[in-house]
Structure 1
Amino acid sequence: MISQAMTWAMSLVLMLFLPRFLGAEGMGQLHLSMSIWAIVGMFVTFGTDTLLTKEISRAPEKTTELVGAAVILRSVFYVVGFALTAVAIQFAGYTQETIYVIYIIGLAELLNQVGSVARASLIGLERMEYVAITSIAFRAFVTVISIAILLMGYGVLVAAAVNIGGTLVTAVLHFYYLKKLQPVSFLSDWSTIRTVFKASSPYLMVYAFSVIYKQLDAVIISLLVNETQVGWYGVADQLFGTFMFVPTVFITAVFPALSRMFADKSDSLLQLMRKSFHLLLLLSVPIGLGVTAIASPLVVLLFGADFAPSGPVLAIMGFVLVLTYQNILLGQFLISTDRQNAWTVVMAVATVATIPLDMVLVPWCQARFGNGAIGGSLAYTVTESIMVVAGLWLLPAGALDKTNIWLSIRVLLAGLVMLAVVWTIRDLPIVIPIAAGGVVYIGLIVLLRVVPEEDWAVLRAAGQKILSRFRKHQSEPASL
């Protein structure tokens, strides 16, 4: 959790620098390139991350042969993926500079693919401290070097190339730590490679739709409009992504606390779901609706007037945020109860639906508002809504009850009143609407008695757990 907080903070710092120096077009080129290679990289990985972690955790002595086979397999897939990408982008109508950025990020992806083989192996060996150190090192390298080259006046091509250095550092560190634990070889026999290929393929589908779903909007916007509007969409999406730290911490910290509190009850799993749904809604509503209210002044403050068109995109994503928090919970619950196949189907439907939605909404918003990126966020709203409805329908009977409905109504009421108050004063210095929104929301939550005493106890326990982890981290000497 400490490493997550540190990498999140460094990512936020870099996010504040890049848009102001690169502008909307430069950010669009970077965001598009990252999206393309996230999709290609998912196929290159071919589910081997999950296979390596699973098999090595069961039989550490297989590490050497599995690592060699995975590196060879990924190298072959990468060559194929790079060739297909190189052909495809020639027909996409991108500028030459955009094509160069895509190639540069593609080279970084090769190093990332090799390094993540060792990363998956370290996770399987349960040496998460090495994974955390490497993650921090990568983010620190990219953040510091990127800011330095931006201040020196370099542009998007050099900024993209920093990722090559970062992934090289990551790959070297991952294999350095892995070699301390197990012998490392990049050689393998055909039989092992074939076994890894067959065994990893089922895991591909589990993550394929998730990755494609998250990255498809940027690619479609680039094809239907231009890289500048991808930049408008991209910075809003990055801000949106920073708030995903909240449900991650929630799932990590609160789930164990809830499990202990209800371990002695026969329906503890269903009670855990009900409590988690309520608490996560309690957190997501003020964040999401608050973002909606201050979206336009926030993006101008952070990134400058060049990104003013990102305001409406982020405002819509504020509503999406509330839905996404619940989808994270619903997906986690369904996977934990062995219904991951059903959730994969939901992801598949959402992914397929994204394409026609974008094809209709992006051109319409471009014609109506001069901002096709708004169409991407509207499509996101529709697909996340579909996933929430499907996820709730897939829950077992009794997972949610009338109490959740009544509590949700009060939380949403408090959030809407907060939204109305903040909206009326959104043009004041941004600290004022944020503070006013916090006071209004918390006051209404207390007045409406939204949070039962037992939930306050859970929140206090979670807060104490997080605080104790920070204190423990501060008391331990840093070492590599």
Structure 2
Amino acid sequence: MTIRAWQLDPLLPLWLPLALLAVGLVGLFGLAASGTVGLERLAANQARRILANSATPLVAQLVNRAVDLVFAAIALRILGVEGNGEYAIASVTWLYLKTITDFGLSILVAREVARTPQRAGRLVGTTTLFRWAVLLCLLPLVGALVTTGRDWLGLSPASLTAIVILVISIVPASYSEAINSVFTGYERMHLPAILTIFTNLIRFASGLLALGYGLGVPGIAAAAVIAAICNAAAFHLAINRQAMRIEWVCSLDEWRSLAKSAWPLLLNGLLITVFFRVDTFVIQAFDGTYSLGIYDAAYKLPNLVPLIPSYFVLAVFPLLSRQSGDDRRRSFELGAKFLVLTGWLIVLVTLIGAPLFIRILGGQAFLPEAAETLRILIWFTPLHFLNGIAQYAVIAADRQRAIAPAYIAATIFNLLGNLTGVPLFGYRAAAVVTVLTEIVLLLALRRALEESLGPIAWKVILWRPIPAVLSASAIVWLALEYLPLAMVLALPSYFALLWLTGTVSSRDVALLQPLLPHRLVERFRGYR
């Protein structure tokens, strides 16, 4: 890496990332040292504590995603297609290693701290050392990847350097994760959530400095290490305020017990990670860095989609858990229909606006390939939403053991589909396989779902919206060159046909009323 003169003037003056870095550092360490006194007073009772612990992480995640999109819009223009592909393979490699080193311990530690708070200090030390030991065991694999990756996967020197740098970030991140789990067990999730905002701001500013000085992909990886170190230091300050003494104990018996308890959680985490991102390695190996850069740019917007079902499902999960029999089935059907219709709406908007979205995100260099790929990828949305609520309905019925086999089947299909399709048809085959994998996952979950809830009205959920979707899609296709016209015609036709076919009724809105904004409900009633 060669440091050059600042390259981003006049659009991005040097003082801006420096100012953002200062704000991030002051905010991070100031908050860690002082705590969130106002929020802690507000969350004095159980109901307010639940609100703070759910709303604050949600807001923090939305803010962080927005910051990430802004950074992506800048980085894609500077790195270009090849550079984006180089960093994509490095970041996904890091994701796999991070998932393995975490070993599912985050959930386990939070549970144990909630049950026995006096064990918190020992759990932080023991699980951090355990994570570091797992990382140490993985280093030979990392070394093999670094030495053979250029020949086997066509990895560039920039990608290999970034992988090594990102592996270093796992060391401080493991300590942060252990402390974060303690705060979760203490029911003080608002403080870590706000700390992540300032940590992300540090990473954002450091990344801009790296790009501005011409450090490229390795520079972005180095920014992640800086942010991880700052985050670990801040979490250390924050946990010290709790008057908790960390016990650095290396006990093989405890490690054995942790591994025995946590490996099912590790398996689930790995399955989800492999399920979503194995295509990255296949595209890199068979279609090259340029194709991966295009595919990853198209994937950045669908990456935001899972936010919608995750928060909706968390809202209805307590209801599903309390209900039984026909009540639980009806609640699932209503929630599933709402999510599927939302998913189809996202598909239509993306079909219309894909070129505009990619132009805003990455610039002309990614067009038209990334927009065309996005138009394929986005079709996974309705079934992804449906699978999200289906999993929680199965868990609510205490049939969670059926989820892992379903993910195993879907993961195997995804891997084989990518290994078959990408060498023959290129990176767009990976987008098609992503959509088909959601179908496989639904089929794998369907039996457990119907055994838990009874016969499901699949016709209402899946097939009744099809006329509205086909009609709107046809309008989009015919008016593809005139985006405003396509938007004006397609979306009203979609909503009108949903109403005319009885897919959406006033009864549905009445049942959904507790989860919808009051103004929206009143406005809907006004049209009746």
Q: TM-score range by the shorter chain?
A: 0.7 to 0.9
Instruction: Provide the rounded CA distance (Å) in 2 between the counterparts of 1:289 and 1:401.
Output: 30
Q: 2:460 aligns with which of 384, 401, 406?
A: 406
TM-score (norm 2): 0.80
Q: Structure 1 counterpart of 2:427, which letter?
A: A
Q: 2:503 aligns with which of 438, 450, 461?
A: 450
Give, in angstroms, the shift of residue 301 of structure 1. 4.3
Q: What's the counterpart of residue 347 of structure 1? A: 407
Contact kept, 8 Å, 2:69 with 2:361, in 1: the verdict is no
Q: What's the counterpart of residue 233 of structure 2? A: 172
Q: 2:297 aligns with which of 230, 235, 259?
A: 235
Give, in angstroms, the shift of residue 362 of structure 1. 0.5
Q: What's the counterpart of residue 117 of structure 2? A: 60
Structure 1 residue 29 corresponds to structure 2 residue 29: no
Q: Structure 2 counterpart of 1:421, which letter?
A: I
Give, in angstroms, the shift of residue 184 of structure 1. 3.8
Contact kept, 8 Å, 1:289 with 1:416, in 2: the verdict is no
Q: What's the counterpart of residue 25 of structure 2? A: none
Instruction: Provide the rounded CA distance (Å) in 1 between the counterparts of 2:310 and 2:489.
Output: 27
Instruction: Provide the rounded CA distance (Å) in 2 between the counterparts of 1:458 and 1:2.
Output: 26
Give, in angstroms, the shift of residue 145 of structure 1. 3.5
Map 1:315-334 onto structure 2 (within 5 A): 315-334=375-394
Superposed CA offset, 1:26-79 (max 9, x none): 111211111112112222111211210111111111111111110111111112
Give, in angstroms, the shift of residue 307 of structure 1. 1.4
Q: 2:130 aligns with which of 44, 63, 73?
A: 73
Give, in angstroms, the shift of residue 127 of structure 1. 0.8
Structure 1 residue 40 corresponds to structure 2 residue 97: yes
Instruction: Provide the rounded CA distance (Å) in 2 between the counterparts of 1:282 and 1:7.
Output: 27
Instruction: Provide the rounded CA distance (Å) in 2 between the counterparts of 1:319 and 1:143.
Output: 31
Structure 1 residue 303 corresponds to structure 2 residue 362: yes
Superposed CA offset, 1:212-266 (max 9, x none): 222211012111221221111111222111122211232234555x669x96x86
Q: What's the counterpart of residue 424 of structure 1? A: 478
Instruction: Provide the rounded CA distance (Å) in 2 between the counterparts of 1:408 and 1:354.
Output: 22
Instruction: Provide the rounded CA distance (Å) in 2 between the counterparts of 1:102 and 1:182.
Output: 37
Instruction: Provide the rounded CA distance (Å) in 2 between the counterparts of 1:210 and 1:287.
Output: 23
Q: Percent identity?
A: 21
Q: Which moved more, 1:134-143 or 1:356-365?
A: 134-143
Give, in angstroms, the shift of residue 393 of structure 1. 2.4
Q: What's the counterpart of residue 477 of structure 1? A: none
Contact kept, 8 Å, 1:281 with 1:408, in 2: the verdict is yes
Aligned in 2, Cα 1:382/1:403: closer, same or farther, shift over 3 Å?
closer
Q: What's the counterpart of residue 478 of structure 1? A: none
Runs of at least 5 residues in structure 2 that lack an aligned partner in the other structure = 1-57, 521-528
Instruction: Provide the rounded CA distance (Å) in 2 between the counterparts of 1:178 and 1:435.
Output: 53
Superposed CA offset, 1:277-317 (max 9, x none): 11111111111243244434532343123212222321111
Q: Give the secondary structure class of the aligned counterpart of 2:504.
A: coil
Instruction: Provide the rounded CA distance (Å) in 2 between the counterparts of 1:403 and 1:154.
Output: 55
Aligned in 2, Cα 1:225/1:184: closer, same or farther, shift over 3 Å?
farther
Aligned in 2, Cα 1:182/1:379: closer, same or farther, shift over 3 Å?
farther
Contact kept, 8 Å, 1:25 with 1:227, in 2: the verdict is yes
Superposed CA offset, 1:314-350 (max 9, x none): 1111111222111111122222322222110111122
Q: What's the counterpart of residue 160 of structure 1? A: 221
Map 1:169-248 onto structure 2 (within 5 A): 169-181=230-242, 183-185=244-246, 187-190=248-251, 191-248=253-310
Q: What's the counterpart of residue 120 of structure 1? A: 181
Give, in angstroms, the shift of residue 180 of structure 1. 2.3
* Greater Rg over alpha carbons, structure: 2
Give, in angstroms, the shift of residue 444 of structure 1. 2.3
Instruction: Provide the rounded CA distance (Å) in 2 between the counterparts of 1:43 and 1:351.
Output: 17
Q: Which moved more, 1:349-358 or 1:269-278?
A: 349-358
Structure 1 residue 360 corresponds to structure 2 residue 420: yes
TM-score (norm 1): 0.88
Instruction: Provide the rounded CA distance (Å) in 2 between the counterparts of 1:447 and 1:182.
Output: 62
Instruction: Provide the rounded CA distance (Å) in 1 between the counterparts of 2:407 and 2:214.
Output: 42
Contact kept, 8 Å, 2:317 with 2:392, in 1: the verdict is no
Instruction: Provide the rounded CA distance (Å) in 1 between the counterparts of 2:103 and 2:61.
Output: 25
Q: Give the secondary structure class of the aligned counterpart of 2:480.
A: coil
Structure 1 residue 283 corresponds to structure 2 residue 342: yes
Task: Report runs of 4+ in structure 1 exceeding 6 Å deviation.
Answer: none
Aligned in 2, Cα 1:356/1:252: closer, same or farther, shift over 3 Å?
closer
Q: What's the counterpart of residue 471 of structure 1? A: none
Structure 1 residue 141 corresponds to structure 2 residue 195: no
Contact kept, 8 Å, 2:320 with 2:393, in 1: the verdict is no
Aligned in 2, Cα 1:272/1:179: closer, same or farther, shift over 3 Å?
farther
Q: Which moved more, 1:58-67 or 1:78-87?
A: 78-87
Q: Which moved more, 1:63-72 or 1:134-143?
A: 134-143
Aligned in 2, Cα 1:2/1:432: closer, same or farther, shift over 3 Å?
farther
Instruction: Provide the rounded CA distance (Å) in 2 between the counterparts of 1:399 and 1:199.
Output: 29
Q: Structure 1 counterpart of 2:163, which letter?
A: I
Superposed CA offset, 1:80-105 (max 9, x none): 22331121232122221210111122
Q: Structure 2 counterpart of 1:350, which letter?
A: A
Q: Give the secondary structure class of the aligned counterpart of 2:300.
A: helix
Q: Which moved more, 1:57-66 or 1:101-110?
A: 101-110
Instruction: Provide the rounded CA distance (Å) in 2 between the counterparts of 1:412 and 1:165.
Output: 49
Give, in angstroms, the shift of residue 356 of structure 1. 2.1
Q: What's the counterpart of residue 106 of structure 1? A: 167
Instruction: Provide the rounded CA distance (Å) in 2 between the counterparts of 1:21 and 1:9.
Output: 19
Two-structure CA RMSD over aligned residues (Å): 2.6
Equivalent pairs, count: 457
Runs of at least 5 residues in structure 1 that lack an aligned partner in the other structure = 366-371, 468-480
